[in-house]
Structure 1
Amino acid sequence: MEKYQTLLYYCYSPIENAEEFAAEHLAFCKSLNLVGRIIVADEGLNGTVSGTVESCKQYMASIHADERFAKTDFKIDDVEEPSFIKMHCRYKSEIVHSGLRNPDLIDPNKETGIHLEPKDFLEMKDQEDVVVLDVRSNYEHNLGRFKNAVTLDIENFRDFPAKINELAQYKDKKILTYCTGGIKCEKASALLLKEGFKEVYQLHGGIIKYGKEAEGKDFEGQCYVFDNRVAVDVNRVNPTVISTCRNCGTKTNKMINCANPECNEHFTQCDACGEQLEGCCSAACQTHPLKREYDGTGYYVKIPQPVNTKKRILTES
């Protein structure tokens, strides 16, 4: 039995005094010796936390005991070690940045796509009148995506609204949206409905839940996750590797950050090129005077920056 777990979750539910709640919630998480990253906004919670099995059990029980978050669906992974180094809980304007000038135009609690459980998504995804739509960023779907999925050239989810016009050709189709854990689909599907798409669905629990309940069939590559693991396997039926090394083109699932901190580009690179370029995306970055030492992982702990007093309340020093 594994000693640790990592929990991925979100909940769209109004929070009064959300900034104050964030500070209190950070203290609560620390009391359980959890590590992770949580975003708190007036519209709800979005988090990934990691800790001992008992700590995670207590955390989930506390969240479910709060009537505001009783419907929260936790995706649970057993891990050999905690998936973060520190605990952060920050207040932001949205738990997922929509890119809208007026975020209140959409409310996932009022209108969103029809939720499909993994087994139902599996049954529908290959039908003739269906389009499977990946609403994640480039670096995510380049690492792994559903077979034959439509992808968008976006660097962040906030770019999604500007790309909806490119999907107009699919307005008469059934749109099945998916993302890592389901949270982006709540807003993506709501936006599609507002733009006149008639039948919009979303994969409930995202890729992570699909991997657990449908064995990840036809998900090609790996799923990018926002913690120290970087990527996780999903497909236990017909797995494959689709991502390639930026430098030599060989197939690899290894994703790193450029060792040049002023570049810090997120990209896939094989071990051979990583050794040759010392974890840099190019020879130019390799000669940069601030280049970080490459230890083979391509993961770098952020150097703490000066913060104001208000910010210091919400983050671990």
Structure 2
Amino acid sequence: MKHKPLHNIYSKDILRKKIEAEDFQRTTISFYRYVILENPDLLRNELYREWESLGVLGRIYIAREGINAQLSVPEFNVQKFRDSIDARKEFKNVPFKIAVEQKSYSFLKLDIRVRNKIVADGLADDTFDVTNVGTHLNAEEFNKKLESSDTIVVDVRNHYESEIGHFEGALLPQADTFREELPLIIDLLQDKKDKEIVMYCTGGIRCEKASAYLKHHGFQNVYQLHGGIISYASEIKEKGLDSKFKGKNFVFDARLQETVGNEILSECHQCDQKSARHINCANPACHILFIQCLSCSEKFDNCCSVECQKIASLPLEEQKKLRKGKAASNQHFSKSKIRPKVFELYKGK
């Protein structure tokens, strides 16, 4: 008997058509838990079988240290999915964070991967107590902390996330990755150990490690926003609280952002007009993430530069040939493929 493959076998075009043909709504859910998992590889295959049968899509990382999941679940199967989670003692009663916006699809396929860590933090966990985390705050408690002059609010996300939205008065480290950001935060706060440090991130998982890391470095009064910006957005809506968050919340799925505040804080990387529209360059050899307004989107055909626009306009076969050569390595962007370097060419001049 031939076994069904435990991975996606369809192209992006086919996957998009399948999503577009669905006649039901989906709910975007995220959750995480630090818990020792004895056999991540076996668990990965079991979860794939269970969740595929429920029509679940998403990106899930599993490691010995736990699970980190962002998912798209058919509305009619949300309870069955909850039951499948609670049936495993390692994940029982894990809090779900429900997206505040369900405007479009968030994932095309189910992708479950086994990794060394569920968040790439670059830390040696055996050198400090990772369970000694900061005090968790709900939305109301978090707002009160922001009013205190003794509080320093720290955004534990990457620069391209905080660029489009953040809390008022927050410290915004300019880092491309979480791994880069942790030592940078320590340096920025080195003479602030007597202050109350209040941290936040997208869904809470990065604050778990970051708060423990700060306490290891001598910071005693460390707090973190429980459930991150996602839970904060839901809670202020449910309780009618004032939102201290301005702008958009960057999310790591096809939606790229959720609206929390109506403010537009960022600017188009090509013309400097106000915009919070993240997009990946339409040149497959580049694919850099940047902010582009609708006017520049039309002018550059969703590309980040004139050169990428020229390449993206070529026949597909010619593009493939170029990607095998020098053109596949765009010299105008950082190796991180996140932060554009603004050259005259990039500005379209």
The superposition leaves residues 27-57 of structure 1 with CA deviations (integer Å, 9 ceiling, x where unpaired) of 2110111111110011111001112123222
1:24 Cα deviation after fit: 1.6
Is residue 65 of structure 2 the alignment partner of residue 43 of structure 1?
yes
Contact residue 152 and residue 198 of structure 2 kept, 8 A: yes
One-letter identity of the residue aligned with 1:45:
I
Please list, as runs of the form range in 1=range in 2, the aligned pairs for 1:199-218 lying within 5 A after superposition.
Answer: 199-215=221-237, 217-218=243-244
**Does residue 180 in structure 1 map to residue 206 in structure 2?**
no
User: 1:251/1:81 Cα in 2 relative to 1: closer, same or farther (>3 Å)?
Assistant: closer
Corresponding residue of 2:286: 263
Kindly provide the amino acid, as one letter, of the partner of residue 71 in structure 2: V
Aligned residue pairs, count: 287
Equivalent position SS for 2:98: strand
Query: Aligned partners of 1:155, 1:261: CA distance in 2, in Å?
Result: 21
Percent of counterpart pairs with the same letter? 38
Structure 1 residue aligned with 2:301: 278
Moved more, 257-266 or 146-155: 257-266
The match for 1:64 among 86, 98, 110 is: 86
* Equivalent in 236, 242, 245 of residue 219 of structure 1: 245
Task: Report the AA paired with residue 132 of structure 1.
Answer: V
Q: Which moved more, 1:59-68 or 1:3-12?
A: 59-68
| 1:131 to partner: Cα distance | 0.7
User: Is the CA contact 2:202–2:250 (under 8 Å) kept in the aligned structure 1?
Assistant: yes
Per-residue deviation, 1:138: 1.1
Aligned residue number for residue 52 of structure 1: 74
Other structure's SS at 2:136 match? strand
| Residue ranges of structure 2 left out of the alignment (5+ in a row) | 1-23, 317-349
Alignment-derived partner of residue 242 in structure 1: 265
For the residues of structure 2 that align with 1:24 and 1:6, how far apart are their CA atoms? 21
1:156 maps to 177
Q: Which letter does structure 1 place at the counterpart of 2:248?
A: Q
Deviation at 1:169, TM superposition (A): 2.9
The one-letter amino acid paired with 2:257 is A
Q: Alpha carbon RMSD of aligned pairs, Å?
A: 1.9
Question: Is 1:86 aligned to residue 109 of structure 2?
Answer: yes
Shift of 1:103: 3.1
What is the identity, as a one-letter code, of the residue corresponding to 1:79?
Q
The answer to whether structure 1 residue 228 and structure 2 residue 254 are counterparts is yes
> How far apart, in 2, do the equivalents of 1:143 and 1:137 lie?
11
Residue of 155, 169, 172 corresponding to 1:134: 155
Distance 1:81 1:57, change over 3 A: farther
Change (3 A) 1:247 1:37: same
CA contact (8 A) 2:98 2:230 kept: no
TM-score under structure 1 length normalisation: 0.85
Change (3 A) 1:291 1:133: farther
> What displacement does 1:106 show?
4.5
Deviation at 1:205, TM superposition (A): 0.5
Residue by residue over 1:196-230, the C-alpha shift from the partner in whole angstroms, topping out at 9 and shown as x without a partner, is: 11110000000011111124712111001111111
1:188–1:72 Cα change, 3 Å: same
Structure 1 stretches lacking a partner, 5+ long: 294-317
Q: Say which SS state the counterpart of residue 207 (structure 1) adopts.
A: helix
Q: Please report the TM-score for the alignment, with normalisation by the length of structure 2.
A: 0.78
Which of 145, 156, 160 aligns to 1:124? It is 145
* Aligned-partner SS, 2:311: coil
Closer, same or farther: CA 205–247 of 1 in aligned 2, 3 Å = same
Q: Is the 8 A contact 1:285 1:291 kept in 2?
A: no
How far apart are 1:276 and its partner, in Å?
A: 0.6
Aligned counterpart, 1:296 = none
- Corresponding position of 1:312: none
1:289 positional shift: 5.9
Q: Deviations over 1:136-165 (max 9, x none)?
A: 011111111111110111111111232122
Report 1 or 2 for greater relative contact order, CA contacts < 8 Å, sequence distance ≥ 6.
1
